[in-house]
Amino acid sequence: MGRALLWLGPSLLLIAAVVIYPAVQLVRASLGRYSLTGLYLGGVGLRNYARLLEQEALPTVIANTVTWVALVVGITIVISLGLAQLLDASFPGRRLVRWALIVPWAASLIMTAKLFGWLYDYYFGLINRALVAAGLLRAPLDWLGDDATVMGAMIAVGVFVSLPFTTYVLLAGLTTIPPEVYEAARVDGASGWRAYRAITLPLLRPALLVAAVLNLIYVFNSFPIVWTLNDRNPGVAHDTMITYMYKIAFKSALRDVGLAAALGVVNVVLILLAVLAYLRVARGPEEPA
């Protein structure tokens, strides 16, 4: 027992320091009242949670969050399935393409978001210039200022940065499928789309599960993209629950650390529930627990 603890010690300490301690502090902060400067003024029990429900912006923010997460994760997985298939096939230069795909993953999210901010710009942006030149747009669009296009523009960037990781998870899944299975299928007369649906997708299920769950968590918690691309827009019309939390604490007239911490706790609980629900549905009846 003592020896085991000795071995486990460092990682236990680390978990305590980077997971448990902040979590405890977050819950504690959510039960307190703070002055604008951050000074602790005393406990208020669950009142911050009750006040959270009274916030007018909450329904908008929740709807934004659902749209953001569902579309980014959904689109990412569909595109990644195709990309993974492509990278699984052998062609000259495959190694190079595989490396190239890692780039958006390796780049800092804030830098990527800033770069896209310029690409989307109404006056300077390359995207407008290209679309107008190609005749797809008659006049430039203010992608990040127009209420109709902000969310779509942010989702596109969210998908772009999520593709590498997802594609690699699915590619790893594809390489575990033994070629014999396809051979057997061909002998039985199944090929192409039919083989993909009957063999590839079912056998990819574990990889798909991993990709979906991890993306669900990453995308829900993603701060830099929404924060950077939405920085010009007043109010909270395009915020997700993560950026809304930050605005409550530091950038809105509420300027309330306790209320923001309460939302932080709610966020953690929500994402846990979402992941559990997803696992339940996705695992299905196959593996009785």
Partner 1 sequence: MSKTYTLAGNFCSMGSMTSRRLLVLALLCAIAAAGSACGRGETKPATIKVVIAEYSRDHTRPFWQGLSEQYTKQTGVKVDLQVIDWNSIDQQVSTMIQNNQPPDVLNLNSFSSYAKDGLLYSGDEALSPKTREDFLEAFARGGTYRDKLYGFPILASARAFFYNRDLLERAKVTAPPRTWDELAAAAKKVQALGGGVIGYALPLGPEEAQAEWSIWMWNNGGDWKSGDAWTINSEKNVQTLTFLAALANVHRVTQVNPGKTNRTDGAFQLFKDGKVGMVMGFSPLAAQLDAEGKVRYGVTQMPTNVGAPVTLGVEDYLMAFKKKGNQEAVRQFLDLYYQPEQITRWITAEGFLPVTKSGLARMSGNEKLKPYLDALPSARLAPTTDPVWDKVKLDVQQTIGLAVQPGGDPKQVLDRLQKNAAESGR
Query: Which positions touch partner 1 (CB under 8 A)?
Result: 14, 17-19, 22-23, 25-26, 29, 34-40, 108-109, 117, 122-124, 142, 144-146, 217-218, 221-224, 231-236, 242, 245-247, 249-253, 255, 257, 260-261, 264, 267-268, 271
Q: Nearer Cβ to partner 1, position 104 or 145?
A: 145
Which residue blocks in the chain are alpha helix, DSSP H? 2-15, 21-30, 47-54, 58-88, 94-106, 109-120, 126-133, 150-175, 179-187, 192-195, 201-221, 224-229, 241-246, 257-283
CB of 8 to partner 1, least distance (A): 17
Closer CB to partner 1, residue 87 or residue 229?
229
CB of 93 to partner 1, least distance (A): 29
Task: Give 181 or 271: the residue with its C-beta nearer to partner 1.
Answer: 271
Least Cβ distance, residue 136 to partner 1 (angstroms): 19
Give the amino acid at 277.
A
d(CA 211, CA 168): 9
Residues 75 and 230: their CA atoms lie apart, in Å, by 21
Residue closer to partner 1, measured from CB, 77 or 259: 259
Size (the chain), residues: 289
CB burial class (10 A; 0-12, 13-18, 19+) of residue 226?
Answer: buried
CB contact at 8 A, 199 and 182 = yes
CB closer to partner 1 out of 26 and 198: 26
Minimum CB distance to partner 1, residue 169 (Å): 14
CA distance 203 to 172: 12
User: What Rg do the C-alpha atoms of the chain give, in angstroms?
Assistant: 23
Residue among 106 and 134 whose Cβ is closer to partner 1: 106
Q: Looking up tokens 């190079």, which residue turns up?
A: 96
Q: What is the DSSP string of 32-65?
A: EEE-TTS-EEEE-TTHHHHHHHH-TTHHHHHHHH
Of the pair 129, 205, the CB lying nearest partner 1 is at: 129
In the complex, what is the shortest distance from the CB of residue 201 to partner 1, in angstroms, rounded to a whole number?
27
In the chain, the amino acid numbered 234 is P
Read off the tokens for 85. 């298939």
Min dist CB 75 to partner 1, Å, is: 19
